[in-house]
Amino acid sequence: MKRGSTFLIAGLLFAPGMVHAKKHQSYPTYRLGGQVVLDKAWFLYDEHSKTDQEIRRGRLFIKGDLWKHLSYEMEYSVSGGEWKDLYLRYQFNDLSAVTAGNIKEPFGFEALTSSKYNTFMERALPDIFVSDRKVGVLAEYGISRKKSWVWRVSGGLYAQPIEAFDLHEDHYTVAGKTTFAQIFGKKHLLHTGISAAYTHLNDTKLKLSTRPETHLSETRYLKTKIKHTESTGRYGIEGYYQYRGFSLQGEYMTMRLETKKRDYDFSGWYLQTGYFLTGDAKRYKTKDGVLGRLSPKHPVTKGGAGAVEVACRISALDFQEKLENAGDMKSYTIGLNWYMTAQLRMMFNMVKIDTEDESGRENPDIVEMRVQYDF
């Protein structure tokens, strides 16, 4: 960790002067940047409490264009000691591209939105059904009517994450997604989408567990192991609505596990809403079908108060199968976000856990805060 912290500090010192790509259109171009995310949490039990803190994310990246339509990105997690995005992308137009490398699957809405732009400190409970980045190839195609609607479809074939990549393994994933976004009167935005993924595992022990939407939690909930898993099938539906500073977002996901003896079905969902008290609004990236960077109308660097958002979320998992520690879980979160600038924000979350499993553990209420800066 000490070595990783040294690299991270070096990036913070030298990257700001190298943020912008070369002004001339000569190739290749580059942009160096990264992010630092600091978390602190308080766990409140009935008769005691404890606190903890961590560098949640410390990442450095370099990206740019090798030539006109061919781009690249290399992002390394200093805090996690692993590669994140590591790819080459050929861009046919704003909505169509082919990408190869260590990349995300086309599955879900919150999962594909960068952690820098999500509303809450951690993604909702159904994120357990979303895979990490894997080595693969992704094809994307889209059509649009300017300032009216956008339709996108994407599909990919994936192996394992780059750190675990093995040519002799026959594990693979096929994933696809389609979305449709409609803009009404320049003020209303409605996004809908469906995702599906099939993973061939070939007699693998699969472990499932989740944190209570708090990365600092040492407790894993609904922790179970399933032996002799042959394959998994995952499905998801998503929706996002925005009217000025108001947003409403939700997803429902299911996963079926096929083993040599029987099949298991799990599911999860979340629903969240947010509102900006300062007249600001979230930014929807039409070319990617996800949320993007918010730039406050009145950042603190120009004497303003920044952007302030209040939000709430309920999420749930259902593992009602005859498995060890299986059961169901709900999580209730209230959030307050202060966007001081487009690159700097503070987040405050209060999390309430409600579980029904066989562990008999005491569930704390959680208060957590974050300082997030990217460059």
> What is the CATH classification number for the domain harbouring 77?
2.40.160.10
Give residue 185's pLDDT.
81
Q: Specify the pTM.
A: 0.89
Amino acid 247: pLDDT: 98
Per-residue pLDDT at 207: 87
Q: Are strands 263-276 and 246-259 parallel, antiparallel or unpaired?
A: antiparallel
Name the pLDDT band for 20 (thresholds 50, 70, 90): very low
Q: Over range 224-252, report the average pLDDT.
A: 96
**pLDDT bracket for residue 1 (50, 70, 90):** very low
Residue 205, pLDDT above cutoff 70 = yes
CA distances from 329 to 37, 121, 185, 216, 266 (A): 27, 19, 40, 18, 12
Q: Report the mean per-residue pLDDT for the chain.
A: 90
Between CA 72 and CA 67 the distance in angstroms is: 10
Query: Alpha carbon of 345 to those of 75, 130, 144, 340, 350: distances in Å?
Result: 21, 26, 33, 5, 17
Whole-number percent of the chain with pLDDT over 90: 74
Show the domain range for 26: 2-374
Burial of 352 (0-12, 13-18, 19+ CB in 10 A): middle
Number of structural domains the chain divides into: 1
